[in-house]
Amino acid sequence: MTLVVTRHDRTAPPVKNPLPADAGDVMIFQNYYQDGQERSIDPAFVPRDGRHNANTHYREVALFARMYHSGLYKRAAYTGIVSPKFWDKTRLAGSDFIRFIRANPGHDVYFVNPYPGNAYYTFNIWEHGELCHDGLILLASDLFDRAGIEFDPASMGRNSHSTLLYSNYWVGNERFWHGFMALNLRLLDTVERLPPSVRQRYFMQDPNYPDPVPLLPFIFERLFSTFLLMDPTIRGLPYPHSRHEILRAAERDNIEPPMVQAFMDLIDEIDRRGDYSGQNRRIFGAIYSLRRHLESRGF
C-alpha cells in the first residue's frame, strides 16, 4: 500500500534546542513537558523541550508530526523521540539501546516494547486495545474507512514480539519515517475533516481508564505495530527481552504475571511456528476471554 504524505500542523515551531555537532548515526530525542523533567533526561538522549507545544490532545503523534515537518528526523541516519518515562517503563539505559542499534545494522527501525507480557494474552495490538477500551476497534475501523485506507483492525494478523510495541519507543531511518508518517498524517488529516458530531467521539474520555486521556491517542499508539504488518518490506528489529525481564515487566498488575507464566511457553512455540490457523487461533481467543472474565470479576 502506498500512502501520500499530507501536511499536518502547518505551523510547526522551529527547532529551538541546541543539537550536538557530532550527531553520528543515531540520535534519540527525549521530550519533556513539565518543569524539572529536563534534569532527569537520559545522558545518551538529546533533550527536547515540549512544554509549550500545541495540539497536546494528539499526544505523541503530534511530536512525530513536528519532528517530521521540521526535518529534525534527518539529523542522523536513525532518529526517534521518546517520553520522559523511557527508563521507568523499559528499565533500559539510553546508551544500551543505542548500542543495540549499532550492533545490529541493516534494519529500517529498532524498537523496545515496555509491555512484552501483552503478547501472551492478546492476539494483536487491536485485540488488546478492545480489552482496555471497549469500542476502540469500531472507532479505528471507521477512521481507516473515512481515510480511504483498505484496512480492518478487526481482521489484522498476529503481533508477536517481532512487531509488538507500546509507547512509541522506536528509532527509524528515513525510509521508515516516510512510510510511517504517511499513515499517521493521513489519519490525522481525516480526523481534522470529520463532522463535529463524529469527531467528538474520538476525543471522549474512557470512563474506565485512570487518566483523563481521550480515545484517539490509543488508536495512534497502535499504528506502529499495524504499519509493520501493513508493509512487510519494512525491516524492524525489537530489543530482545529475557524470560526474567518479561515476567518482571508483567508485575504491573495482578492478573498478568500468572497468565504470562502459564501461557508463555505455549505462545512462544506457536509464534516460532507461525501457525495461527484453526486450533492455535482459538487458543488466543480463549486466553483473551479468560483475561476479560478475570477483570470482570475484579481480580
Q: What is the pLDDT of residue 209?
A: 65
**Whole-angstrom distance, CA of residue 161 vs CA of residue 167:** 14
Average pLDDT, the chain: 88
pLDDT of residue 15: 37
Is it the case that residue 2 has pLDDT exceeding 50?
no
Other C-beta atoms lying within 10 Å of the C-beta of residue 294: 15
Share of the chain above pLDDT 90, in %: 72
Residue 17: the pLDDT is 42
The mean pLDDT value for 80-103 works out to: 96
Query: Could you tell me the pTM of the whole model?
Result: 0.89
Query: What sign does the CA torsion over 74, 185, 216, 225 have?
Result: negative
Residue of 12 and 97 predicted with greater confidence: 97
Give the alpha-carbon dihedral of 294, 296, 298, 299, to 10 degrees: 10
pLDDT over threshold 50, residue 234: yes
Task: Give tens-digit pLDDT for 139-191.
Answer: 999 999 999 999 999 999 999 999 999 989 999 999 999 999 999 999 999 99
Question: Residue 95 pLDDT more than 50?
Answer: yes
Residue of higher predicted confidence among 178 and 14: 178
Which range has the worst mean pLDDT, 46-55, 234-243, 265-274, 282-291?
46-55
**pLDDT confidence tier of residue 220, bands split at 50, 70 and 90:** very high
Q: Which of 29-38, 77-86, 113-122, 230-239 is least confident?
A: 29-38
The Cα 229–Cα 270 span in angstroms is 18
122 or 10, which is more confident: 122
pLDDT band (50, 70, 90) for residue 9: very low
Q: Residue 240: which pLDDT band, with cuts at 50, 70 and 90?
A: very high
pLDDT of residue 207 exceeding 60, the answer is yes
Angle formed at CA 153 by CA 151 and CA 158, multiple of 5 degrees: 105
